Structure 1
Amino acid sequence: MNKVILEIRAGTGGDEAAIFAGDLVRMYQRYAESQGWKFTALDTNQTTLSGYKTFIARIAGEGVYEELKQESGVHRVQRIPKTEKSGRIHTSTASVAIMPAVEPQAVQVNSGDLEVSFFRSSGPGGQNVNKVETAVRILHKPTGIVVASQSSRSQQQNREQAIEILRSKLYEAQMQRQGQEMTELRRSQIGSSERAEKIRTYNFPQDRITDHRIGKKWHNVERILAGELEPIIKTFKKIEAGT
């Protein structure tokens, strides 16, 4: 699949979790740029400390799903936060979901099933950025799924982007109901962002990243968070290929 929806949510850890979520956003964005993929923000909830409570984007490019599918799950960071004055190491989490972006004909969305509302887009700290209500929130009444988009100044474009996010989430649910295992249902995929459900730990004091699913370790945490994901992705490809 050549198009995915990336969803990152801050988990356990307060402000530091939001900062870590922001680090993951930048890591995937830089990796996407290095691969020549198109990275488009669809919905963001930014904090005042360069972090994100939530961040949703579309990534388009050849083989993007195969490259990133193993990134889904709870990511954990251990480090001394910039906001920590006593020098203590904190543990925080953020969840990542990689969902296939599906074409309109693949998932039927009936307008009668949607409850659409509009609001003003907000910036860091929650202050309103626009005086016009261009941001869009959509409730899918049959499933209770809620999606939003506020990245564009165009209400119509935000609506289209919110529908795109909704389609991906409905597609995930549809695959689950049919018993297919192409991807896990989003809730299974990202867990509840509790520390115990981690798939990967970024340990800054020891300059080490550990993927707990396969027991592999890599060093140079800063470099990998700067977008150099190749060592991790290549390892998973080798395991999948049985080499």
Structure 2
Amino acid sequence: MEKIIQITAGRGPSECSWVVSQVLKKFLQEAKTEGFQYVILQREKGNQNGTVQSVSIRLTGKNLEIFLATWLGTIQWIGNSTFRKYHKRKNWFIGAFELKLPQHSEICDRDISFQTMRSTGPGGQNVNKVNSAVRVIHNPTGVQVVAMDSRSQHQNKKLAIARLKEKVNEANLEQLKGSMTDQWENHLNLQRGNPIRIFKGTDFKHQKENKSFKPKRQKLKNDLNKQKWD
């Protein structure tokens, strides 16, 4: 199983970016302890040294839903500003979200259909009489291209496949851009209240009532196993 997670300060101030950096450490430590593999895909630095405005992480492993159920949502830190000594605010909020994985369309031979037809335009009588033009269709996406550059059907087939790959790659890029849009929406839609985790003080300790997640994880694991048997 694979998931991509974003931890973000949204439009919060530098204090929130500092919280992201601290939460990232805790998150990766716990993920490693639970046996998950992770790769940091993107990290946007905050305005202050040692802060992180946003970070995207790819996680792989079994039962990721159980682990992430205790992380995804609003995360709160209660403490004095690390940058403004006399600032009165004590509560700072960041968010952890799951990003949708773009569904890339790979070019497989079994997914391609070919059609031959007569070429049009200049090129002599041979071009117009022989079915040398080739249309290639990528069945999963409906993307199609036509090649009639050459008098050789074989050459046109090669050209059409190359152009099809380029077009499908463009479609994949649009999906990736859509995923990036989701990231920015997460920045904008960060909600405060009802935090999934609460940290306190500069040592970043859990509040007592939120310290143990074993019972919650066990319940989630039992529910997951029950769903598999139903």
- The interval holding the TM-score normalised by the smaller chain is 0.5 to 0.7
Aligned match for 1:201, one of 184, 198, 201: 198
1:115/1:6 Cα in 2 relative to 1: closer, same or farther (>3 Å)?
closer
Look up the match of 2:43: 44
Partner Cα distance (2:66, 2:188) in 1: 21
1:73/1:190 Cα in 2 relative to 1: closer, same or farther (>3 Å)?
farther
Partner Cα distance (1:58, 1:196) in 2: 26
- Does structure 2 retain, via aligned residues, the 8 Å contact 1:12–1:195? no
- Does structure 2 retain, via aligned residues, the 8 Å contact 1:65–1:98? no
Superposed counterparts of 1:5-24, under 5 Å: 5-11=4-10, 13-24=12-23
The AA in structure 2 aligned to 1:40 is V
Partner Cα distance (1:88, 1:102) in 2: 42
How does the TM-score come out when normalised to structure 2? 0.55
1:65/1:6 Cα in 2 relative to 1: closer, same or farther (>3 Å)?
same
Partner deviation per Cα, 1:25-57 (whole Å, 9 max, x = no partner):
111111122233222110110123312111001
Q: SS of the residue aligned with 2:207?
A: strand
- Does structure 2 retain, via aligned residues, the 8 Å contact 1:73–1:198? yes
Is residue 93 of structure 2 the alignment partner of residue 93 of structure 1? yes
The AA in structure 1 aligned to 2:207 is I
The AA in structure 1 aligned to 2:37 is K
Segments of structure 1 that go 5 or more residues without pairing to the other structure are: 117-136, 148-165, 170-185, 211-216, 220-230
Partner Cα distance (1:93, 1:52) in 2: 14
How does the TM-score come out when normalised to structure 1? 0.52
Partner Cα distance (2:2, 2:173) in 1: 26
Deviation at 1:208, TM superposition (A): 4.9
Partner deviation per Cα, 1:66-87 (whole Å, 9 max, x = no partner):
3223421111111012223237
- Does structure 2 retain, via aligned residues, the 8 Å contact 1:77–1:92? yes
Partner deviation per Cα, 1:59-103 (whole Å, 9 max, x = no partner):
122322332234211111110122232374521111101357577
Partner Cα distance (2:73, 2:192) in 1: 11
Question: 84-93 vs 67-76, which deviates more?
Answer: 84-93
The AA in structure 2 aligned to 1:202 is F
Superposed counterparts of 1:1-243, under 5 Å: 2-11=1-10, 13-47=12-46, 48-86=48-86, 88=88, 90-99=90-99, 104=104, 110-113=168-171, 138-140=176-178, 145-146=179-180, 192-196=189-193, 198-204=195-201, 208-209=206-207, 217-219=209-211, 231-232=212-213, 234-240=214-220, 241=222
Partner Cα distance (1:198, 1:12) in 2: 17
Task: State the percentage of identical aligned residues.
Answer: 11
Partner Cα distance (1:209, 1:101) in 2: 33
Q: SS of the residue aligned with 1:196?
A: coil
1:139/1:102 Cα in 2 relative to 1: closer, same or farther (>3 Å)?
closer
In the comparison of the two structures, how many residue pairs are matched? 162
Q: CA RMSD in A?
A: 3.9
Segments of structure 2 that go 5 or more residues without pairing to the other structure are: 107-139, 142-166, 224-230
Partner Cα distance (2:45, 2:200) in 1: 24
